[in-house]
Structure 1
Amino acid sequence: MEGLQDGKMAHLLVNQTCMESLRKDITDLQGTIISVFSRVGAVRFPSWKFPDKVSCDLDLVALLERYDFAENDPEFTHHSHVVLLELVIDRLLLLLQSFTGYTENLISEQVVPPYRGTGPSMSIGLAVTKYWDNMLKLGALYQQLTAEKRPSKEETSSPKRSLQAVKSENEPSKRCSSECSESCVTLPSFRSSPLTLSAISGPLRNQLRVSLDEKSAGGANQGSRSIHSQTIESCPEPCDACRKVQDSLREVGDAVISLCNGQNLPSSLSRFLEMVEEKLNQKSLTAVDLSYWASEQSKDLSRINKHLQTLVESINPLKKELMESEKEKDKLKKQLETFENRLQEEKEKQKQQKKEMGLLFEKKNAESLQLVAVLKKDKEDLHNKEDKSHLLLERDLKMVDKEEMIKLEDQVRTLAHQLEVANQHLNWATMELDKEKAKVESVLRHKESLQAKQRALMQQLDDLDQQCEQLKASLAEAEDAQFVMKENLKELQQEKWELHRHLEEQQKLTERVEQEKRTLELSASELGELIQEFKEREQLLVSFPDLHIPVEAKIESTGDVLEDMGKQLQANNIRISVLEEENVRLRIAVAKMKQAMQQETPKIVSPTQLWVQTVANHAYEDDRMLLPTEQSVFLEAEARSPNKPISIGSAARSRSQHGSRDDPPSRRSSSRQRPKPFSEEAVQKAVFTFSCEDAAVSAYARVKGRGRGLGPLARCARNQQK
């Protein structure tokens, strides 16, 4: 039955009808959630299916398109079915959370739901418990309101009875008085309407409650006083409280409509006012109209609240961006101020250099002018001197002697030399002037290059700002990529550690298996040798049985007397060792029984001789060097359990451990006391009774076959020669 149920469940998990039903359920739940959000606002809680996302922000259309029925892929269909079930749970949890928000709004009497941030992660049990607590609070509040309404209903019942009596008396005035009764009845109905009271803000709601209570009480008293004076000609008008309340509602409605129009929002109240425009002009509205008015006005207020929330949500990041841009602007201003200060310093340096160059140029120019004036003066002096010299020459030619001519020539040479010096000085001044002009031109070119550098620096500053923005964006992308790479690296390292640990475990397991394999191979080889020795012992015992059996039962020998006697001696030694072991156990048992009997009744019992002296002497003489070792081997075999065979190594260790010990007590006491001989039947019984000692016998046979086979053969040969 369980297998059939599992098969049915597996078939349902890949059934297309079930998946379509789940998709329809998810769509219906999402529609209900949207209708609840239109009244409550978006409820922001972490998703149950996707904890890293907000439940109201899930893209259900994409999820439904992704997880759909696939005919050729049953595993994916099974996975999609499970995901759709989890989405149903997620939507139900969100619906419970939105119901909780709606009940909280009703309890706190808030028309416009407050802005809620992302709530904590909540389990299904906690959400159900919270919803049930809010429902209990809402039920208690409803019971309190019903308890408060009962006395008010009892108070208003008496005016209604008198009003009905007057109506029955004055049937002609029934139509006129119906308007008054309707307007008066709308007051308690308007006051008791939870939708109307919830659609008005807190202070206005309290004011309306007080005014409605007062006016309802006053209207009831006035009706009871003036009801006897009603006639057909004097029709009552609506009370002042209703008119004031409706006027205030109209003012509030106009303000809400103007606010919606100013924010380019659709207004439900404006459409409602267009529908009841004729009633507003003719008469006052009824309680039903006022309830519709309040509901439409609450819709507009919720729409305005959502719009304000979106504006606040959009303004907050803009404010942050504005603050960041102002910070960057301050940084740029500081940088610009530093650049301007540097530029001003460069300009001042250039002005100072320009002034210095101007002064130097003026100085050099004045010096050059002075040199030119001096040169002109020297030229004039030279011309004058030349003229004078010519005149003097002419006069000297005429009047003086040759000596004077020589003096004049010397003067001409000196004047020519002075002229050359003046020309050199003039050339130097012109060269200095050209150098200063070149310096001034270089200064001007340097100024132009500095201006070009300034423009290039400004352009470079703009480029650096753009590069800074690009680098910030690339840095954010690089940080995201680095974070992703770190996560991937952590996962890879963890997988590497797990693989390394698994590899170490496999290596340890392999080493352990190899060690067990070696031990098993060693034990198998030992068991093979032991089996071979068992076969040899069995063949020896079968070939050479006891010598005291009847002649008819003897087995044929091999023909070699020495070999047959040696093997017969080995078989007899094996039987002797087995009997000696049995004697040791019997002595121990007799000693224990004797001790127990002495404790019960102190009687002295002489020990019974269990072995013949001559037989013991012969056995002791034949193999006096081997019996201690055999006894130790058999004692060790007796200490072991029957399920554990004696291996070759253990027998060798037992021989090495007991090889240096003294002779057993039976041999030490052989000179003083010898046991009585056993009969042939007793020996056979001892051999076949203690079959559990086969392991010890096999060990003894192995020892006898390896180490002591030649001794008895040699003794038999000596006896034959004698």
Structure 2
Amino acid sequence: MESLQRDIVELQGTVIEVFSRSGPIRCPSWKFPDKASCDLDLVSLLEHYGFAENDPELAQRSHVLLLELIIDRLLLLLQSFREYAENLISEGPSSSPSGAMGPSMSVGLAVRTYWDSMVKLGSLYQQLVMEKKGNKEDVSRRDQAEIKRTRSSCSQQSESDVTILGMQGSSLTSSIASGQMCGHFPNCIPSPTTEPPVVPCEACEKAQTSLREVGHAIVGLCEVQNLPSSLGKFLKTAEETLRARPLSVVDIDYWAAEQGKDVSRIGKHLRTLTELVGPLKVELEAAQKQVEDLEARLQEEKEAQEQQRKEAEQSFEKKHKESLRRVGRLEKEKEDLQNKTITLEKNITTLKKKLRFQEAAIQELEQAQMDLLQNMVNKAEVRLLEERLEAQSGQLEDVKEQLGQATTELDKEKAKAESMLRHKESLQAKQRALMQQLDRLDQECEGLKTSLANEEEERFLMKERLKETREKRREAQHQLEAQQKLTEKAEREKASAEHSASELQRSLSQLGELVQEMKEKERLLVLFPDLHVPVEAQFEGTGDVLEDMAKQLQANNIRISVLEEENTRLRAALAKMKEVAQQEGTKVLPPTQLWNQSSADALYEDGGVPAPIGGPAAVALQGVAIRHPSRHDTLWSRCSRSTSATSSSQRTLGNPPSKPSSGESFAFAYKDLPHVKGRGRGSRAHQK
């Protein structure tokens, strides 16, 4: 099972390495289909399912689960291989989203898809190899054609100097090339253009040899770096054809061109290497730092484990010594108890012997007593014998009591010995348990050492996750600050709105009070009109008759509406009074005189209107004719008002009201009096 656990850990490491190249693959797990295969917590699974000596069923179940986990990891590894191969074939990562869950595959289907991807990759590799071979053949053909051309030109140049001299362009280029070569080397004297050099100078030979050495060095460098070399092919052909002869100007030009190609190729390769090596160095330094940190942590963990192990060993040694001391002490106590039991047994045997002797003596005394009693020889002797018998019986009882005490002590000592033996057995069992615990601690120490590496990897992953969470937390804090600002602004707006609402409520309440006051004023205006305005009082108007008439009409409408409300209330009160009167069965009283003669005469004399008297129902307002309360007909009022454009309205007195007679209804016709000018407003004197 330990080897299976190590295999699972190694497979997981390989899976992580493949994920670093192909990216994570999210697919359902073969063992746990409800979870992603890459999200399984293998550390907790390996810790939970381990070898258990005391529970064979758990050990068997753990063994089966470890085998299933190996199958799960192998299946995930095949799927990651397939993904990596598909990425290589498509020359880039797959277009599937990284967070999406892939389809669930069986082992056979996963192996089949992996084999198909490998077949595709093999066919692609064969195509690339064929293309590379074709390119190499084309390059070799071109190189051979160029070499043939150079050979033919060199042979023609060496065969006839006249043709070289005849060709003006060739002689010019050769003279320029030789001048450049000699310019590089001061010991070389350039030859005139009209006379070609028959024998090369020593400096040119040295320059060509150094050039060949440099070329061989460049070719060797290309071979070491696995780079194609154009100069290598030219060197092979030149060595085969020219051998030790010096090179011509055309050959040197071609040499320089090929060497420049190789040098540029090497420079590009060096640049790519430096670009690759730079981040690798940085990663290497970071990895070395991590390794140093991990080694330091591992050393600290080892020291801590060693310290714990030493402490455990010391505690075990102390406990072992204490147990040995206890065992020795118990053995000594056991030996003492055994000695005590032996002495007690000896005492018991001696006491038993004494008891037997005493019983024999008692029997003898009893026999003697019997003999004495039978013989009745001497009463004094009998008394002495009786006294001796009583003394011997007392001694016998004392010996019996001592024997009982000795037996009880013996039982107690036996119980103590048995308890000490049981205590010794329990100490031995504790010692065995401590040994097993020490072995288990050693196993746990090894498990902790193995899990330390996994914990370090998890710690590294947790650090990365912590960085991501910190970034997310910063973003959330920024968003929270923005939201707090918005909430503060909203609260300020809310406070201002509440303040404005309270002000509006206050203004509405004030307006309501004003409306109530105006209604009360209108009601009082209608209820108490001014009837005794002096004659000289002029009507205060705007001067516009139509506007004044419209305002008067509006005031009259207000008075009419208020009077209608009063009439409805009076009708309701009258109906209630009628119902009460009908229920009580009261008789209708004869009508009372509501108009006194003296008051009527005074009215006629003074030219005023008397105030009506009577009950609460007998109420007369401006222009209202009131009948007796016994009558239930409606009240009629007649008002006439004449308005002129030049002067205020005047009221004239028509027929005076007739005197009321008892038993008859009277009608009071009120018309405008000549001495009263106004618009129906009552006077305080009339109200009184």
| TM-score, length-scaled by structure 2 | 0.37
Structure with greater helix percent: 1
Larger radius of gyration: 2
TM-score (norm 1): 0.36
